[in-house]
A and B are shown apart, each in its own frame.
Chain A
Amino acid sequence: MSLTVTSTADPTRFLRRLCEILPPARVLAGPAQLAAYESDGLTAFRTAPLAVAVPETQAEVIALVRLCHAEKIPFVARGSGTSLSGGSTPVAGGLVITLNRLNRILRVDAAQRLAVVEPGVINTAVTLAVASYGLHYAPDPSSQSICTIGGNVAFNSGGAHCLKYGMTSNHVLGLKAVLATGEVVEFGGTSREQLGPDWCGLFVGNEGLFGIALEITLQLLPRAEVFHTVLAGYRTLEQAGDAVSAIIASGLLPGAIEIMDALALEAASAAVHAEYPPGCEAVLIVELEGPREVVAAQRPQLDALIASSGPVEARPARDATERAAIWKGRKSAFSAVGRLSPDFIVQDGVVPRRRLGEALRRIAEMSRVAGIRCANVFHAGDGNLHPLILYNGTEAGALERAEILAGKILHMCVEMGGSITGEHGVGLEKRDYLATMFNVDELDCLHRLRTAFDPLGLANPGKMFPDGTAPALAQHGLHPLEKAGLISRE
């Protein structure tokens, strides 16, 4: 089954009709205007779209999608453009619909603990808006101070607290969306329970291939009363990994269990002036949270577990400021790595937790053989690795070599029984690896679902599926891995 972007599209007519929907100031089509939208968080890929539309209302978004459908022009929805999988990389000849101006929090219902928001609302803005009620929105991707709920919904974003609280999908109760066909649907509602199939669950994580969410109903949780956050430094990654195993086996359910390796620590300490225990190959961050009586009862157990795991030093955060500093260092790690290297690729593979140590050893070995530096920051509680592969994009062949290493790491994750993506999505970056996780029948099943929502293949084409119809890549010729003979398209 092929996704057809017909060649009969008439860009001139499309642009004319576009200007009938939006005032000229909100239609960007000049080269300088388009340049800002050429790529997202996956900067290795760039494509100029035909135009960028800046809607301000849901009605405008619906009209834009319907126009794209009528004119058979592909479209890509975009929030803050923080996708690390190239999820909002434009399609050549297509429209980018930016949703940042649909940034209204439409309703907060403190009694029912929910908020209804538009897709352009920034992740942390939800928690800010409900903090006075003692509530918060749990999913906390590292980019949460700039990424949007619409993007979180499209890619089912995770964060540091997924083991206990799940991903974005676990917090979406209902949504209104315009599908690629122009049809407007409402899934779910305001109850935490549902009758019939979970349409909301199917929509979240669709990577923009089904349509665009216009209104999202989010469940809110009471903010944990107290936290006990411990930062522990270890001589070796194995020791940190063993500490994680001991915590998991103890019956505790920490809100977060994170590890950063030496290279990531070097970057984070330079960027945010965090001071980590010296001489450590790994730092572990563990956080308990809950009512003060519960944390008081569990704290000695966690502290004893960490003390017996042989840390160089264990530092519990003594107050909210110290806790914030620990998390600032962790969450800034991705961008901090930018200080170590002009370019880097962030990977997102998942391995069974008990094989974390083995996975890290193999990554280190592959990194050494390839002669490419690789920093590791990961959600240890979930087995979700984030190797940061450092390269210099101005050096001939460097990106290609980095991508080959990235591919090897993904293959390792699948071979270990894990996944190619824990929370960043498949997007453009990993679409050629989808087939390592799913067989032909499974891919066909996913494809049939995509076609059900988007028969013309206009919504974010070229993402998730290795179907070879992506105008974005067609502009660049063969994928570097194809050139290397490592992958091929179906």
Chain B
Amino acid sequence: MNAPLTPTSLAELAAAVRSAPRVLAIGARTKPRLSAVAPDVALISTLGLSGITEYQPDEFTFTALAGTPLREIAATLAARGQYLPFDPYLIDAGATLGGTLAAGMSGPGRFRFGGLRDFILGVRFVDGTGRLVRLGGKVVKNAAGFDVPKFFVGSLGRFGVFGELTFKVFPRPAATLTLRLPVADANAATQILTAAAGARWEIDALDLLPSADAIALRLAGPAAALPLLAAEILTRFPGEILSAANADALWADLRELRWTFADGPLLKLALTPAQLPALAATVRTHAGRLHVTAGGNAALVSLLAPIASLGLPALTLRGPGPLWLNAPASPAIAAAVKTALDPENRFPSLSA
């Protein structure tokens, strides 16, 4: 495989796409299985396309080039008291904004206000014909044209190469407080996840920890209110309030995937709380580890070696094994949409 192409401007990005019959964009390759494609596919690195191009704190929006590290964005927003409410993964690992969108990597905080799909506003991208186009908008509300930016969430770079992205952001809550609620098993976890999600507390994050023995429940809001909410929650579900340092470490470890096996497959799944017990049992059978997030709506599974099935569709982010397990059925319209955006099949198919 040749060295990746390294465009440093949007015009060069478009030229890079046109320069080879088969191409795929890569960022920092923190989810390397997603770009482990056939050797005839030329890779285009977006790392030379880095930087926040527009940030209007009073608009709750920013625009950044696709290769901008999340770290830089998070720091810039934090300096103005704002944050990425979809709470992306692998910030310290160097993940880029574009790679995060392509991989659909919304983190635990997606529980409260939603994931990438709920904050992406606009995308400037190069389509399969090598044209640089901008769809969506730069304001927090826009209904003009089809919502292609949303479509790109989780699209794995198979429909276009991102050049520049516009997101909505929110003011960072004044304080956070994390509770650790021990659970006996996955059934008990499901019950707590379900009950807590429907309660009045406006929970910020609700995860089953990889240790499988506790739920982490994060509150976010005015400092004065959180201990009051926590006290009530602890009367319903026994547990403890974590110190700020322990809470920060817990969420940072989850965010940076430090609980995973280094060399085995790491998979992402979409699920419902009701599917959690069966998934937990399957993972245990294979001596794997499981982080359930978003109140039981998403999961990451770390395994020692590839397996054939987890019983649900799963996407391999890292490590050996096929890209998909139990690949979700592709809607019949998928081929026509692929042709519309990439008529010459310049980008790999979703299945490879």
Q: Footprint of B on A, CB under 8 Å?
A: 110-113, 133-135, 155-156, 158, 162-164, 166-167, 169-170, 179, 183, 185-187, 189-199, 201-202, 204-206, 222, 225, 245, 248-249, 251-253, 290-291, 293-294, 296-298, 348, 350-354, 379, 382-384, 417-426, 430, 434, 437-439, 441-442, 445-446, 448-453, 464
- Alpha-carbon distance A379/B142, docked complex (angstroms): 13
Look across to chain B and name the residue whose beta carbon is closest to the beta carbon of A110.
Answer: B198
B199 at the interface (CB under 8 A from A): yes
B146: which A residues are within 8 A, CB to CB?
202, 205-206, 446, 449-450
From known contacts A110-B198, A166-B114, infer whether A425 and B143 are also in contact, taking CB-CB under 8 Å.
yes
Asked if B104 and A194 sit within 8 Å, CB to CB, the answer is: yes
From known contacts A190-B272, A194-B104, A297-B225, infer whether A225 and B141 are also in contact, taking CB-CB under 8 Å.
no
Mark the stretch among B64-72, B239-247, B301-309, B331-339 that contacts chain A: B331-339
A438: which B residues are within 8 A, CB to CB?
134-135, 144-145
Asked if A350 and B152 sit within 8 Å, CB to CB, the answer is: no
Q: Footprint of A on B, CB under 8 Å?
A: 56-60, 81, 104, 106, 110, 113-115, 117-118, 127, 131-135, 137-148, 150-156, 158-159, 170-172, 174, 194, 197-202, 221-225, 228-229, 268-274, 294-295, 297-298, 313-315, 328, 330-334, 336-337, 339-341, 350
- Alpha-carbon distance A425/B272, docked complex (angstroms): 32
- Alpha-carbon distance A151/B298, docked complex (angstroms): 29
- Alpha-carbon distance A160/B271, docked complex (angstroms): 31
- Alpha-carbon distance A135/B198, docked complex (angstroms): 8
From known contacts A190-B272, A445-B135, infer whether A170 and B114 are also in contact, taking CB-CB under 8 Å.
yes
From known contacts A158-B141, A251-B172, infer whether A112 and B274 are also in contact, taking CB-CB under 8 Å.
yes
Could you list 11 A-B pairs, sorted by A, with CB under 8 Å?
Answer: A110-B198, A185-B332, A186-B331, A190-B272, A192-B110, A194-B153, A195-B313, A423-B143, A437-B144, A438-B135, A446-B145
Which one of B155, B158, B297, B334 contacts A192 once the chains associate, using CB atoms below 8 Å?
B297
From known contacts A187-B331, A445-B135, A451-B340, infer whether A291 and B143 are also in contact, taking CB-CB under 8 Å.
no
A110: which B residues are within 8 A, CB to CB?
198
Asked if A291 and B202 sit within 8 Å, CB to CB, the answer is: yes
From known contacts A111-B194, A189-B270, A445-B135, infer whether A194 and B144 are also in contact, taking CB-CB under 8 Å.
no
From known contacts A202-B150, A449-B337, A452-B340, infer whether A441 and B56 are also in contact, taking CB-CB under 8 Å.
no
Asked if B143 and A422 sit within 8 Å, CB to CB, the answer is: yes
B269: which A residues are within 8 A, CB to CB?
193, 195
Q: What is the distance, in angstroms, from A441's C-beta to the closest C-beta of chain B?
A: 5
From known contacts A193-B270, A195-B104, infer whether A453 and B333 are also in contact, taking CB-CB under 8 Å.
yes
Most chain B CB within 10 A, of A158, A293, A353, A424, is at A293
Beyond contacts A155-B143, A202-B150: 15 other A-B pairs, Cβ-Cβ < 8 A, are: A158-B141, A164-B113, A189-B270, A198-B152, A201-B147, A222-B199, A248-B60, A297-B223, A379-B141, A417-B139, A422-B142, A434-B144, A438-B134, A438-B144, A438-B145
Asked if A423 and B139 sit within 8 Å, CB to CB, the answer is: no
- Alpha-carbon distance A242/B13, docked complex (angstroms): 41
Asked if B271 and A191 sit within 8 Å, CB to CB, the answer is: yes
B137: which A residues are within 8 A, CB to CB?
350, 418-419, 437
B334: which A residues are within 8 A, CB to CB?
199
B143: which A residues are within 8 A, CB to CB?
155-156, 158, 167, 205, 348, 419, 421-426
Asked if A111 and B59 sit within 8 Å, CB to CB, the answer is: no
From known contacts A196-B155, A293-B229, infer whether A112 and B139 are also in contact, taking CB-CB under 8 Å.
no
A249: which B residues are within 8 A, CB to CB?
57-58
A193: which B residues are within 8 A, CB to CB?
104, 106, 110, 115, 269-271, 294, 297-298
Asked if B56 and A352 sit within 8 Å, CB to CB, the answer is: yes
Which one of B104, B151, B172, B315 contacts A202 once the chains associate, using CB atoms below 8 Å?
B151
From known contacts A197-B153, A201-B153, infer whether A225 and B294 are also in contact, taking CB-CB under 8 Å.
no
Pairs of residues from A and B, 5 with the lowest C-beta to C-beta distance, nearest first: A201-B150, A297-B222, A193-B298, A293-B225, A452-B336
Which one of B145, B154, B156, B271 contacts A437 once the chains associate, using CB atoms below 8 Å?
B145
Asked if B117 and A198 sit within 8 Å, CB to CB, the answer is: yes
Asked if A453 and B117 sit within 8 Å, CB to CB, the answer is: no
Asked if A419 and B139 sit within 8 Å, CB to CB, the answer is: yes
Asked if A382 and B140 sit within 8 Å, CB to CB, the answer is: yes
Which one of B132, B141, B200 contacts A222 once the chains associate, using CB atoms below 8 Å?
B200
From known contacts A191-B297, A193-B106, A202-B151, infer whether A442 and B135 are also in contact, taking CB-CB under 8 Å.
yes
B138: which A residues are within 8 A, CB to CB?
417
Q: What is the distance, in angstroms, from A114's C-beta to the closest C-beta of chain B?
A: 9
Q: What is the distance, in angstroms, from B111's C-beta to the closest C-beta of chain A?
A: 8
Asked if A170 and B118 sit within 8 Å, CB to CB, the answer is: yes
A162: which B residues are within 8 A, CB to CB?
140-141
- Alpha-carbon distance A300/B53, docked complex (angstroms): 36
Look across to chain A and name the residue whose beta carbon is closest to the beta carbon of B351.
Answer: A196
Which one of B132, B273, B298 contacts A111 once the chains associate, using CB atoms below 8 Å?
B273
- Alpha-carbon distance A251/B315, docked complex (angstroms): 37
From known contacts A353-B59, A421-B142, infer whether A446 and B328 are also in contact, taking CB-CB under 8 Å.
no
Look across to chain B and name the residue whose beta carbon is closest to the beta carbon of A157.
Answer: B143
Which one of A133, A197, A252, A383 contacts B171 once the chains associate, using CB atoms below 8 Å?
A252
Asked if B154 and A195 sit within 8 Å, CB to CB, the answer is: yes
A202: which B residues are within 8 A, CB to CB?
146-148, 150-151, 337
Q: What is the distance, in angstroms, from B145's C-beta to the closest C-beta of chain A?
A: 5
A252: which B residues are within 8 A, CB to CB?
171
Asked if B202 and A195 sit within 8 Å, CB to CB, the answer is: no
A424: which B residues are within 8 A, CB to CB?
143
From known contacts A189-B270, A248-B60, A451-B340, infer whether A384 and B145 are also in contact, taking CB-CB under 8 Å.
no
A426: which B residues are within 8 A, CB to CB?
143-145
Look across to chain B and name the residue whose beta carbon is closest to the beta carbon of A299.
Answer: B222
From known contacts A222-B199, A296-B225, A350-B141, infer whether A196 and B350 are also in contact, taking CB-CB under 8 Å.
yes
B58: which A residues are within 8 A, CB to CB?
245, 248-249, 353-354
- Alpha-carbon distance A192/B206, docked complex (angstroms): 13
A442: which B residues are within 8 A, CB to CB?
133-135, 145
Asked if A354 and B340 sit within 8 Å, CB to CB, the answer is: no
- Alpha-carbon distance A351/B152, docked complex (angstroms): 25
Asked if A194 and B222 sit within 8 Å, CB to CB, the answer is: no
- Alpha-carbon distance A450/B221, docked complex (angstroms): 43
Look across to chain B and name the residue whose beta carbon is closest to the beta carbon of A416.
Answer: B139
Q: What is the distance, in angstroms, from A88's C-beta to the closest C-beta of chain B?
A: 15
Q: What is the distance, in angstroms, from A253's C-beta to the closest C-beta of chain B?
A: 6
Most chain A CB within 10 A, of B58, B142, B174, is at B142
